[in-house]
Amino acid sequence: MGFDNVIGHKKQKAFLYSTLEKGRLPHAFLFTGPDGVGKKKVALEFIKMIFCENGDGCGRCRPCLKVEHKNHPDFISIENTQSIGIDESRMISREIQKPPFEANMRAILIDDAHNMTPEAYNALLKTLEEPPPFNIFFLISQSEKEIPLTIRSRCGRVAFGPLSSSEIRDFFQGIQSIGEEKAQLITYLAQGSIGSGFFWMDVDNLSFRHRIIELITGKKRSFLQVTSIAERITRSQKDTNMFLSFMLTFFRDLYLIRESRRTNDLINIDMRGLFDGDYRDYKWIINSINKIQETLSILKYNINRLLSVETLLLNIMEHRV
């Protein structure tokens, strides 16, 4: 029940629990940390604890179930922050001036808070400057820097780190019986994020890594293939981030092999065969890492994903020796 449902993050959970115990809840929490480590899950379980009839986020009482099913009248969950325009912002700020309906408090969860529109930020700021005592905000973001300082400074901040390898491995071995090698590979690829782990548990995603590598290390240079692979990579923002992050791990593996010739620190352990010999050019590895990082950082802005990834793949193929 409650926090027991959430893997890892012992310190963060203990801190949150103590604010509730001591009756020292701030008007707003800002949860930051990498994608997919469980920030929103912690917030949801904590909101259950605040509303719970048994006081511990039992998961069985009416308020807990209503939070779980997102139909509690005092729980507002905003997931698509980019869509909050001026009208919605005004409506939300009017709404939260009213006392809660059923609980003693109202919880407002804003996911991807760094994507909020300026209108929404302004409305939020006003609310945080003169907060009605019964509201508690949970702002969730992978990027603390992108949250305006005026907002940040009014929040109780909780930083989440990646989960440990053993936490990730135990989790995935617990939900599905997978072989030792696959569990290890998923754990390495997940890089501390349960969300990423789920992505790589998908067989299609996992095997598509090989297609990408065949393209960029292979002899053939077909534009048609570049386009088809780039289309698959950019199917969604999430896919794009995951596959580009994978490419980074691939070049990191190549780099490690070149530098230390050790194979026991590899991430892509199923690609060991590809790392044999020292035919990979050092400049090519470094150039590729730089280009992938550049692409990842420009992709945060609303630019043409497909075109950027095509350009990236062509660049990597062009510099291959």
**Minimum CB distance to Zn ion, residue 25 (Å):** 17
**Minimum CB distance to Zn ion, residue 57 (Å):** 6
Helix residue ranges per DSSP H, 130-235:
149-152, 165-175, 180-190, 194-201, 203-217, 223-233
Strand order in the sheet with 135-141: 75-78, 106-110, 135-141, 28-32, 156-159
**Minimum CB distance to Zn ion, residue 111 (Å):** 23
- 134 to 173, contacts with Zn ion by CB under 5 A? none
Q: What 3-state DSSP class applies to 245?
A: helix
Pick from 15, 26, 45, 30: nearest CA to 105: 26
Between 100 and 192, whose beta carbon lies closer to Zn ion? 100
Between 58 and 105, whose beta carbon lies closer to Zn ion? 58
* Window 105-134: contact mask with Zn ion (x via CB under 5 A): ------------------------------
**Minimum CB distance to Zn ion, residue 138 (Å):** 18
CA distance 46 to 297: 33
Between 61 and 206, whose beta carbon lies closer to Zn ion? 61
CA distance 9 to 300: 27
Amino acid at 80: N
Between 72 and 305, whose beta carbon lies closer to Zn ion? 72
Between 53 and 318, whose beta carbon lies closer to Zn ion? 53
* Cβ 251 vs Cβ 283: under 8 Å: no
**Minimum CB distance to Zn ion, residue 15 (Å):** 21
Amino acid at 237: Q
| Residue entry with tokens 């808070």 | 113
By CB under 5 A, is residue 206 in contact with Zn ion? no
Contacts of 47 (CB under 8 A, 6+ apart): 67, 75, 107, 109, 138
**Minimum CB distance to Zn ion, residue 46 (Å):** 12
- 24 to 83, contacts with Zn ion by CB under 5 A? 52, 54, 58, 61, 64
**Minimum CB distance to Zn ion, residue 135 (Å):** 21
Between 25 and 65, whose beta carbon lies closer to Zn ion? 65
Between 61 and 76, whose beta carbon lies closer to Zn ion? 61
CA distance 113 to 21: 27
Strand partners, 141: 32
* Window 230-269: contact mask with Zn ion (x via CB under 5 A): ----------------------------------------
Give me the residues that bind Zn ion (CB under 5 A), please: 52, 54, 58, 61, 64
